[in-house]
């Protein structure tokens, strides 16, 4: 028994030392030879905004496919999915009246919203804080009005995604809830902790009752002004104009690249981000950074001559912003092919300084994966918490996949999220490269040690 214990200890130390060298090499490569920043530059500045179904989204599919082929992946393929193609139209305008003076509101249409009449929509406004206020006010007072949902993100949450999660339902369900009470339009406070002039878009949805009313977001600074004007004047008229439209379904694609596992090829680990973006900017942090970090994983493995023990994939999902059709297509294909995804990592929280990872799945697997932390804390990856991992990989949860969310510093993300500031110049090259190295290192450890036994002992 003593000999067996000593043998396992020697194997563990040997594996740990080898992994440490490989991880150091991964970081060295990412920080000196990475293509991630140049790929992001092309994605943002040569292609631009990538709304699902648009020509730019198609260009992004073609570009990333060719880049992954050049990177040397064993196989690269496109996976079709049907997506709704919504267009914004002309730049939106908004206004309110204060003492008979027309004051501007900086607004933008929410994704999937219908248009206003061409001349715009104007009505008396009712301000609410949450959906409970609709019940309190009642249909008689809401009918024919525009509802202004003024629910700020909670600044006391250290992780800003927690605050975002608490508010997301007001943007997504605002038109459905207000429309059910007879409102003719809805204006939602932008989801951001900063006070700025930039409105933040994002997807919304209508209910099954057939009621559809125009929905827009207003900048946080103008939300403050509008709220103050309502409190000062009591009765107030607001208006907005938007010419957005839905063009129906078109075919788009996920982009997938694979390096076949040398020992357990039927066990699959993926790292991915979403290729589509909103159209107010070029989708640099959301989610160009996640796309190029996942692509860089393939480049690093091939350029360092690393052959993973298990199969690894880069998956660039389409349509995360407006329905998640790409994720549904990927999960459906995985089910039909009886593929075994043991772990999936999603990078969709921006390209800021790496902090760690969040884990969702079997408790025992999460605890095993946490043993990797000791290998990566020297690279400032201190946060290893149980929590939500990501919208696209979440569709694999029913398969029993260990879901992992790449977690960079969250403090600045909602300054640029879904607004006109989400541009290439807001991404720091070194932070981007550190993120690529962090994701690649964890993929290496998962590939070598799996998720179903103590990682540093098999």
C-beta atoms surrounding 124 within 10 Å: 13
The values of phi and psi at residue 408, to 5°, are -85, 175
Q: Which of 239, 243, 179, 244 is nearest to 206 (CA)?
A: 179
Alpha helices in 95-192 (DSSP H): 132-137, 139-142, 160-180
Cis peptide before 287 (omega within 30 of 0): yes
Alpha carbons 431 and 351: distance in angstroms, whole number: 6
Torsion over CA: 222, 227, 232, 237 (sign): positive
Alpha carbons 274 and 254: distance in angstroms, whole number: 9
Gyration radius of the chain's alpha carbons: 24
Rounded alpha-carbon distances, angstroms, from residue 34 to 91, 148, 257, 291, 348: 37, 46, 18, 14, 19
- Set 67, 84, 122, 320: catalytic member: 320
Beta 340-346 vs 402-408: how paired, if at all?
parallel
Residue 68, SS3 per DSSP: helix
Q: Which two tokens stand for residue 251?
A: 């075919």
Beta 121-128 vs 146-149: how paired, if at all?
parallel
Beta carbons of 261 and 308 less than 8 angstroms apart:
yes
Q: Is 119 a catalytic residue?
A: no
- Enzyme catalytic residues: 320
């Amino acid at each position: 028994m003593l000999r067996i214990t000593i043998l396992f200890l020697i194997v563990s130390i040997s594996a740990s030392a080898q992994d440490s060298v490989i991880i150091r090499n991964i970081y060295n490569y990412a920080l000196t030879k990475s293509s991630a920043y140049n790929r992001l530059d092309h994605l943002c500045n040569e292609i631009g905004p990538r709304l699902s179904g648009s020509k730019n989204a198609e260009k992004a599919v073609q570009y990333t496919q060719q880049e992954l082929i050049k990177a040397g992946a064993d196989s690269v393929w496109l996976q079709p999915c049907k997506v709704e193609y919504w267009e914004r139209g002309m730049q939106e305008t908004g206004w309110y009246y204060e003492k008979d003076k027309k004051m501007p509101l900086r607004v933008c249409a929410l994704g999937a919203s219908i248009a206003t009449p061409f001349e715009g929509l104007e009505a008396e406004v009712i301000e609410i804080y949450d959906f409970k206020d609709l019940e309190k006010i009642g249909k008689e007072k809401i009918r024919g009005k525009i509802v202004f949902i003024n629910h700020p993100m909670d600044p006391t949450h250290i992780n800003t995604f927690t605050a975002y999660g608490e508010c997301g339902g007001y943007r997504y369900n605002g038109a459905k809830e207000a429309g059910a009470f007879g409102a003719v339009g809805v204006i939602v406070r932008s989801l951001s902790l900063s006070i700025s002039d930039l409105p933040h878009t994002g997807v919304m949805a209508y209910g099954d009752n057939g009621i559809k009313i125009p929905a827009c977001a207003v900048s946080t600074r103008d939300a403050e002004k509008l709220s103050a004007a309502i409190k000062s004047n009591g009765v107030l008229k607001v208006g907005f104009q938007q010419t957005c439209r839905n063009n129906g379904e078109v075919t788009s694609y996920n982009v997938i690249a694979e390096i076949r596992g040398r020992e357990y090829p039927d066990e699959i680990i993926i790292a991915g981000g979403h290729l589509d973006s909103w159209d107010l900017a070029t989708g640099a942090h959301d989610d160009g950074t996640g796309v190029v970090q996942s692509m860089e994983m393939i480049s690093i493995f091939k350029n360092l001559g690393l052959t993973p023990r298990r199969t690894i994939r880069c998956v660039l999902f389409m349509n995360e912003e407006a329905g998640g059709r790409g994720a549904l297509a990927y999960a459906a294909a995985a089910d039909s092919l009886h593929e075994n995804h043991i772990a999936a990592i999603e990078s969709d929280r921006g390209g800021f300084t790496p902090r760690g990872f969040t884990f969702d799945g079997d408790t025992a697997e999460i605890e095993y994966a946490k043993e990797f932390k000791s290998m990566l804390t020297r690279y400032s990856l201190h946060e290893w918490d149980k929590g939500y991992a990501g919208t696209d990989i979440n569709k694999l949860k029913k398969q029993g996949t260990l879901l992992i969310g790449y977690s960079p510093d969250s403090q600045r993300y909602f300054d640029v999220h879904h607004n006109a500031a989400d541009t290439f110049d807001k991404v720091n090259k070194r932070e981007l490269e550190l993120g690529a190295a962090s994701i690649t290192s964890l993929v290496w450890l998962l590939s070598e040690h799996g998720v179903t036994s103590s990682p540093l002992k098999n």
